[in-house]
Structure 1
Amino acid sequence: MDETSDPFARIRRRLAELLPEYRLEAEPVSTTGLSQVFRAEDLRLHHRPVAVKAMAGYLAMHPGYRRRFLREIQLMTELEHPNVMYLIRASAADEDLLYLVMPWAEDDLRRRLGRERLDLAAAVDVVLQTARALDFAHDRGVVHRDVKPANLLFGAEGHVYLSDFGVAKDRTGPDLTVAGESIGTRRYTAPEVYSAGPADPDAPEAPAGPVSEADRAGDVYSLGAVLYHCLTGQRPFDQLDDSAAERAQREGDLTPVTLLHPHLPAALDPVVAKAMHVDPARRYRTCGELAHALAQTVGVTEAGSALPILRDIQERLRAEPPEPVAPAAVRAPGPRLLPLLAPVASLLLVAAVLGWTAFGPEDGGGSGVAAEETTGPEVEEEAGPTAPPPVTGDERVERRPVAGECTTDDEDTWVVVACDSPDAAEYYYRIVVNPEDPNPSQPDHDDASWLACGDAGATDFEYYWGDSTTDSDEAWDPETGVVYYIMCYQEI
């Protein structure tokens, strides 16, 4: 088997030759089209676990990619900060394989969010730690440009590491982006960054020092998108396909956090909206400024500890019945997200706390400054349209269900009914748009579907696809087709 059919045919054997001091596990813990990651033991240091990331063999032969990878190694060695992932070993410039050896992280934010939505205190903690890493990088002339949950790793006791500087831009070095290449990741990367293209090679060289507010604004947007995912359990614009998501990002059409989870403090909406504003000049000036506004809004100190008022909220909310699983709903082309209902007592409690936060004494963690910055006409302009009301009683609606709704067992179409209706046969508890799909290595997609549906007692699932090789109406080919959403449900 050669590398034209398997880009990883010789990876593990070559790693063993280059890194004899590490014992690699037999199989990689993750594989993408570009890289494999192995868990390994450091035989020279008490068998401590490490992660060995190796790029596909053909990438090492690509001059442009090799320059970018070696630049990433240089940036990571220069950014020594508690919240920036550090390297233990990496490829030398003349080695035939591109690899990194890093501390082993038991989890990352993408996997964690795949299991559960973060509570408010945990979401704030992630943003505070990530903001410190980003501001540190910005002050030293580096813009990350790909801040997303998969690039936030967890060490011991919830310690957050920012990783993957593969598309980062160094203020004093050349931009290695090539013409026609997208930068970052759709839905997390600011629209002006995603389609920016390479820098003008004839432009005067930027002086050494901190990056500008305009350059910081892209990472501020991405950190706001990460906050949105932490609070809602789904990516921004998750209910839209890629082309619709691109339009929504450019128009600033973001569904407010509290429309998806009404029990969260309403003051979070203007914080997220400002961080992800379509106009870079109207975002927070730094990631630290975003983190500060968030912390003050929810009553958390910037050291990460909850003030007494927040601890009281958390204890009372824990006593409430658990809410339904947080969904990612489909809008293709049907209705917007269906808001989840929350206990009235929780809403009253949050309203009282917001009043205390907005008008309370300065030394009590109030947010008078944040409220002044985020109120006014612009907040109404950024709010998305309201979702359609849920069906009740004897109502029946023919459309795709959204998460939290029930349907009959009609085989020809979806008939959405109230879940307490005697006609209700299936409960749709999760809808995942653009899932992580292992095609074509698992052509029937069942593993991806079960992974997306989780262990919440799924009876079954349905997945829907687009074909990556043709625009015609030919039958879907599981070898080339790409799943674009999965609907998870239980029989009632």
Structure 2
Amino acid sequence: MDETSDPFAPVRRRLGELLPEYRLAADPPSTTGLSQVFRAEDLRLHHRRVAVKAMAGYLSMHPGYRQRFLREIQLMTELEHPNIMYLIRASAAEDDLLYLVMPWAEDDLRRRLARERLDLAAAVDVVMQVARALDYAHDRGVVHRDVKPANILFGAEGHVYLSDFGVAKDRMGPDLTVAGESIGTRRYTAPEVYSAGPADPNAPGVPAERPATDAERAGDVYSLGAVLYHCLNGQRPFDHLDDSAAELAQREGDLTPVTMLHPQLPAALDPVVAKAMHVDPAQRYRSCGELARALAQTVGVTDAGSALPILRDIQERLRTEPGERTELVRSVPAARPHWLHLLVPVLSLLLAAGVLAWSAFGPEDDGGGSGVAAEETSGEEVEEGAEPTAPPPVTGDEQVERRPLVGECTTDDDETWVVVACDSPDAAEYYYRIVVNPEDPNPSQPDHDDASWLACGDSRATDFEYYWSDSTPDGEQWDPATDVIYYIMCYQEL
């Protein structure tokens, strides 16, 4: 193939000179306005398949775009995380053609969604993995600003990589966007980010090592919410509108609920997506991890992907067994956390069977709906054979007596949980984490301080409640072979 019929021939030829140990495939690369990605083989390592990303030839001599590409190389080198795409090799600043070499990804989320929308379990898995990558980057002061399906790659066995930090902004250097340039991709990028101009060079500086603020994270939270919407719906947000109308709808927050298009999905997903893509950045989740935890809690899985039991239903089942009783005791907030014990003389095997019987993901129907485990309804019995649903969010002046979900608030009622909206004047406690089957490094410790410290952390937690079985009547002994902590609920006083 000569250069007259191959528009990528000059770049391909120069890469062959710079990277003689890699053989580039003859098929056309995937290309954007700024770069080209070639499939290649590593001739020195058993023909391992790799991806070679090179700057588009006409930009190679542009100082600003060269600096941006070099910044991407720097960021990918520094952000070492299992869910962030890593580099095998990269060009030096003095090279005439800038490039980087990465592992070859078999698929990306854009192509996968073009074939079919994801089922609920797969969508949650993707969002949780991307959220971990984004929180890691945000904690190091790096904001991605272009989270979209094309930049979410799949490795072996569904492992997810976040890629393309070409328009990322970090505290270690200046904002490399230029006046009049759009940041990110319409429909996925938050309105305040997409139309943002370059940073004011005269604005006060910020510490380079400081993590990203909630306001800085908000744009990536919006984008991850848009990715979730696409996964669940099979179409982009505002896909039925042209670009101009889509921009207006984004600014007005006029988003069609997912369950209006796919009513077989749990209704509780709609407020999760709506909060993530709220037009007001301050009303979104404070981090991508918080969004992922809210999503996982809604569908009944833990951060590790295991199923949450339907807590109230299992309690009621156990209470009805003759001679057996399970109680959940809430600890009392104090200057020093006061860990109360739970007296739960119940057979571990029966409890384990109850958990398995109510695993979160049941058989799929019509390719879209998943069995979804709920926390509990607001005091109403679930009809036999009916699919459980997560409780609706508490808003305004509403109050509900039930266990809180992650991200919810309660009053300071000492007898039970009264769930209220977090902006309610009655809100006294904020539940920020629920850990199922937590690790206990010191299982012989009667009050399990170590387990709660690992589950809740030592900085945010005011106190916690936990649900566990103990085979001894006085609760002073712990048998690791039979006794188990089922979950820990972490909260802080407001």
Q: Give the shorter-chain TM-score range.
A: 0.5 to 0.7
Superposed counterparts of 1:435-450, under 5 Å: none
User: How far off is 1:361 after superposition?
Assistant: 7.6
Contact preservation (8 Å) 1:232, 1:260: yes
Aligned counterpart, 1:99: 99
Aligned counterpart, 1:8: 8
Contact preservation (8 Å) 2:54, 2:99: yes
Aligned counterpart, 1:292: 293
> Structure 1 residues 232, 202: CA separation in 2 closer, same or farther (over 3 Å shift)?
same
For 1:133 and 1:179, locate their aligned partners in 2 and report how far apart those are by CA, in whole Å. Answer: 29
Aligned counterpart, 1:315: 362
> Structure 1 residues 58, 3: CA separation in 2 closer, same or farther (over 3 Å shift)?
farther
What is the TM-score when the length of structure 1 is the normalising length?
0.66
Aligned counterpart, 1:228: 229
SS in 2 for 1:100: strand
Aligned counterpart, 2:390: 354
Aligned counterpart, 2:144: 144
Contact preservation (8 Å) 2:179, 2:197: yes
Partner deviation per Cα, 1:191-212 (whole Å, 9 max, x = no partner): 0000011000111221121011
Contact preservation (8 Å) 1:271, 1:374: no
> Structure 1 residues 298, 373: CA separation in 2 closer, same or farther (over 3 Å shift)?
farther
Aligned length: 350
Q: Does 1:241 align with 2:242?
A: yes
For 2:100 and 2:420, locate their aligned partners in 1 and report how far apart those are by CA, in whole Å. Answer: 46
Partner deviation per Cα, 1:211-235 (whole Å, 9 max, x = no partner): 1111010011001100100110111
Aligned counterpart, 2:162: 162
What is the TM-score when the length of structure 2 is the normalising length?
0.66
SS in 1 for 2:101: strand
Aligned counterpart, 1:473: none
SS in 2 for 1:281: helix
SS in 2 for 1:50: strand
Aligned counterpart, 2:408: 369
Superposed counterparts of 1:370-409, under 5 Å: none
Contact preservation (8 Å) 1:299, 1:357: no
Rg bigger for which structure? 2
- Give RMSD over aligned pairs: 3.0
> Structure 1 residues 4, 236: CA separation in 2 closer, same or farther (over 3 Å shift)?
farther
Aligned counterpart, 2:68: 68
For structure 1, the 5+ residue unaligned runs are 325-345, 377-492
For 1:232 and 1:349, locate their aligned partners in 2 and report how far apart those are by CA, in whole Å. Answer: 24
Once the two structures are aligned, what percentage of the paired residues are identical? 79
Contact preservation (8 Å) 2:271, 2:393: no
User: How far off is 1:96 after superposition?
Assistant: 1.1
User: How far off is 1:5 after superposition?
Assistant: 10
> Structure 1 residues 5, 39: CA separation in 2 closer, same or farther (over 3 Å shift)?
closer
Aligned partner letter, 1:296: Q
Q: Does 1:46 align with 2:46?
A: yes
Aligned partner letter, 1:211: A
Contact preservation (8 Å) 1:148, 1:188: yes
> Structure 1 residues 293, 94: CA separation in 2 closer, same or farther (over 3 Å shift)?
same
SS in 1 for 2:389: helix
For structure 2, the 5+ residue unaligned runs are 311-356, 370-382, 395-399, 410-418, 425-494
> Structure 1 residues 131, 323: CA separation in 2 closer, same or farther (over 3 Å shift)?
closer
Contact preservation (8 Å) 2:119, 2:367: no
Contact preservation (8 Å) 1:123, 1:231: yes
Larger helix proportion, structure 1 or 2? 1
